[in-house]
Amino acid sequence: MIGFSSMNGSRYRGGALYQQTVVLAAGLAVLPAFAVPALTATLTVRLQRPTTAQPLAWDAASRVRVRLVLSVDGITHACEGQATGGIRLNRDGIEVSSYVLRYEPIWGYFGARTGVPKRLGETSLASYTAHLELDVLTGSMQTEVSVSQVTLAAPAIPFSSSVAFNATSSASEEYGDNVLSVSHTAAGSDRAAFLGVSAYEPTCTGTATYGGSAMAEIWDVTAAVGGYNLHNGGYSFVAPAASAQTVTSTLSASVAQHIIRCISMTGVDATTPYGTPAGTSGTTSPMSATVGSVGANDLVLDNLILLAESPPPTIGPDQTDRGSITLSSIVHGFGSSQPGSADDVMSWTTTSTIYGWIHRAVAFLPVAAGGFVIPIAMRHYRERWG
C-alpha cells in the first residue's frame, strides 16, 4: 500500500478524513485507523472505479467487500457493501467514476426515555475512531480510497411516550453489488425495528435480515414509474437484541443506487407490532400515503423512493426526518416518523421536476397491556383486522 495520508477532522463541519492508494491481492486488508469527530452525521467512502481514461488494475473479474468500522470505547459499529470492478455505465451510458458507500452512524435516545437525541460519537467516554477493511474476494485491485465526513448535531426533539422512536442508522451505496448492511443498536423496553429500503434501476425484489434472522416483510414493491424502475421495501423485526446487530438488505439484482434506513422503537406490541400498510406511486407532487385507523399512541413510519431534480422534497407537517439520503442529486431515499396523535397522513412535497416515486407507510402499534390506553377507533380496527 502506498500514498497514505490522514487528517483529523475535528475542526471541520465537513471534509476529508482519510485518503490512500491501495494495491491489493486476494484477501483482507485492514487500513490504518483515524479519528472521527463526535458529531459526525455522515461518513462517505469512495473507491475510484476503472474508466476508459483511467483503466486501473481492477477488472470485472475482481470483487471487493468494503467495510467501514467505527469504534466507540472499544465497541464496534459497521457499514458494509460490495463492488465488482470493470467499467460500469449509468442509465445515460456515461462511465461511473466511483463506487460510493455512505454510512450515517446510529443516532437517537440510546434507551433513555427523556432528553433529546445524541450522535454516536457523543456517547464515547474516551475514543471515537474508524478504519476501513477491504476484503478482495476474487482477483486483485488497484484503486484510490478516500473517506470524508459531514458534522451535524442530532435533531433536538424531546422524547415522547407511547410507541416512541429510539434510534436510526442509515447507509447507502452507488454502483455496488446487491448486498448492503449497517450496524444498529436497539434499546429500551418492548423493542421493535423497521427497515426501509429504496433502490433505483434495474428491476429487483428484496429480502432483509436483522442479526442474521429474517425480518418480516411488510411490503416489497417494484414498479416502472414514469419509465424508471424503482423499488421500495419495508420490513419489521420484533424484540431485537439490545446490542449492536448487523441489518442487511439483499436485492435480486445489482442496482445503481441502494439506500437502507433502520429505525428502532420502544413500546411496541410483540404480538401485533404493526397495522395495515398504505401507499401510492406517481409522477406528481405531493407524495402522500394515508394509513388510516391510526391510534393516538401509534407511531407512523414511511419510506419514499423518489426520482426528482434537486432540491430535495419538503417533509410534511408533524413528521420528523429519520435519516433521509439523496444520491447523485436526483435519487432520494427518504423516511420519517409521526406520532399517531398528529395525523394518519404522511406526505412530501416538491416543486422540482419529478420522474417517479413509490411511497409506503405503516403504523406501529402500542403494547396492548401495561398501562397504555388504546383509543376506541384503534380497538375497533384491531378487533376487525387483528
* pLDDT tens-digit map of 250-308: 999 999 999 999 999 999 999 999 999 999 999 999 999 999 889 999 999 999 999 99
The pLDDT score that the predictor gives to residue 102 is 97
What's the predicted TM-score (pTM) here?
Answer: 0.89
Contact 88, 49 (CB under 8 A): yes
Contact 249, 182 (CB under 8 A): no
Q: How far apart are the first and last CA of the chain?
A: 59
| The C-alpha cell that represents 187 in the structure block | 434499546
**pLDDT for 124-149, tens place per residue?**
999 999 999 999 999 999 999 999 99
Contact 154, 56 (CB under 8 A): no
The pLDDT score that the predictor gives to residue 369 is 52
Contact 1, 20 (CB under 8 A): yes
Distance CA 94, CA 128 (A): 38
The pLDDT score that the predictor gives to residue 276 is 97
- What mean pLDDT value characterizes the chain? 91
Q: Cα-flanking dihedrals φ and ψ of residue 97, to 5°?
A: -90, -20
| The C-alpha cell that represents 207 in the structure block | 429480502
SS3 (DSSP) at 244: strand
Distance CA 203, CA 200 (A): 8
* Burial status of residue 12 (CB atoms within 10 A of its CB: 0-12, 13-18, 19 or more): middle
